[in-house]
């Protein structure tokens, strides 16, 4: 185990009926790093995210966050994580401000502190001028940014992002990438899944490559490429797709 390990995944297995979504996977995520999960569709990325976000429980094995089990102490972990789901989990009939007001309240913010934090997060994700507009009127990219904003209000030290840039414009992708770098600079640990290989290459310190629930490789991009003998992550992914 690495000395600065924050998240320890230990022999985790998760089944959906007869299908194994995660098959005895183990790895570590270090404090303050951006850790990418990559793999073809059905590889088990989102399943792992739901386990880490304490939405589901593993059938066997455990994930320890700073030594605390997601199975035994999900409550204490939930306060520390920010979860960005793949869906736009926001109320379209409410304004951006009202949506954030709900999540700020859920995370225990109140009064002036709440207002300031909402305003700061909106500015951070370049949505300050649309605070009072209904989310239903936003573009896809703006909704994605607001989806992330809702999970940053309580300043989590672990941010779990499931496909945060799926289907967004280049401006929003850039904004989100800048935000990830900035959060990392502030010591936040980020676990991210994405279909955009270039994005993961650029942002992630380390990667885990999954296929059909099996952890194939873990490490830095350079180490993975060296081990697999591939020129690029894209070539590796293409190889995985061909094997399916």
Partner 1 sequence: MKAFLSILRNDVRIVLRDVKALLLLLIMPVLVISIFAKALGPLLEKSVFVEPFSIAVVDKESSVWTGILANQLNKLEILDNIYKTDEDEAREMIKRNEVAAAIVIPENITASVDRWEPEQGKVIGNSLLHLESQLIKNIAVVGSTSVSAGLAELYTIRDYEKKADIDPDQVYQDLVSANEEFINVVLARKEVFTETRQDQFEVSAVEHYAASLLAVFIMFASIPCIKLLAQERSLGISTRFIAAPTGGWQSISAKLLLSVGISMAQFLVVCLFLKSAAKGVGRLQIAPFIPVFLCTTVAAAAFSMLIASFATSPASTDLIANLSILLMAVIGGSVYPLPSLPALCRMLSALTINRWSAEGFLAALAGGDAGGISGSCKALLLLAALYFAGAIMVYRLKRRRLA
For binding to partner 1 (CB under 8 A), which residues are involved?
15-17, 50, 53-55, 75, 78-79, 81, 83, 85-94, 98, 101-108, 110, 150
Tell me the three state secondary structure of residue 126: coil
Task: Calculate ∠ Cα 13-41-210, nearest 5°.
Answer: 45
Shortest Å, Cβ 128 to partner 1? 22
In degrees rounded to 5, what are phi and psi of residue 152?
-105, -10
Nearer to partner 1 by Cβ, of 81 and 210: the residue is 81
Nearer to partner 1 by Cβ, of 71 and 235: the residue is 71
Among residues 121, 132, 234, which one has the least CA distance to residue 175?
A: 121
Shortest Å, Cβ 220 to partner 1? 29
Among residues 145, 142, 194, 140, which one has the least CA distance to residue 167?
A: 140
Nearer to partner 1 by Cβ, of 54 and 218: the residue is 54
Nearer to partner 1 by Cβ, of 5 and 86: the residue is 86
CB 32 within 8 A of CB 188: yes
Shortest Å, Cβ 78 to partner 1? 5
Shortest Å, Cβ 73 to partner 1? 12
């Amino acid at each position: 185990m690495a000395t600065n390990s924050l998240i320890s995944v230990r022999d985790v297995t998760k089944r959906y009926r007869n299908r194994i979504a995660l098959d005895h996977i183990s790895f570590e995520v270090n404090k303050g790093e951006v850790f990418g999960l990559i793999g073809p569709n059905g590889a088990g990325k989102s399943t792992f995210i739901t386990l880490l976000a304490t939405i589901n429980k593993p059938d066997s094995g455990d994930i320890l966050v700073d030594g605390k089990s997601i199975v035994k102490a999900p409550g204490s972990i939930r306060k520390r994580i920010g979860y960005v789901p793949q869906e736009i989990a926001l109320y379209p009939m409410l304004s951006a401000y009202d949506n954030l007001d709900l999540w700020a309240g859920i995370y225990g913010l109140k009064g002036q502190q709440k207002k300031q934090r909402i305003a700061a997060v909106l500015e951070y994700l370049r949505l300050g001028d649309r605070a009072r507009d209904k989310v239903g009127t936003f573009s896809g990219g703006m909704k994605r940014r607001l989806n992330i904003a809702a999970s940053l209000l309580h300043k989590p030290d672990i941010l779990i992002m499931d496909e945060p840039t799926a289907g967004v414009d280049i401006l929003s992708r850039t904004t989100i990438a800048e935000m990830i770098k900035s959060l990392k600079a502030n010591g936040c640990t980020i676990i991210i899944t994405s279909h955009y290989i270039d994005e993961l290459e650029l942002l992630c310190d380390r990667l885990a490559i999954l296929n059909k629930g099996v952890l194939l490789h873990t490490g830095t991009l350079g180490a993975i490429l060296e081990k697999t003998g591939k020129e690029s992550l894209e070539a590796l992914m293409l190889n995985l797709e061909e094997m399916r």
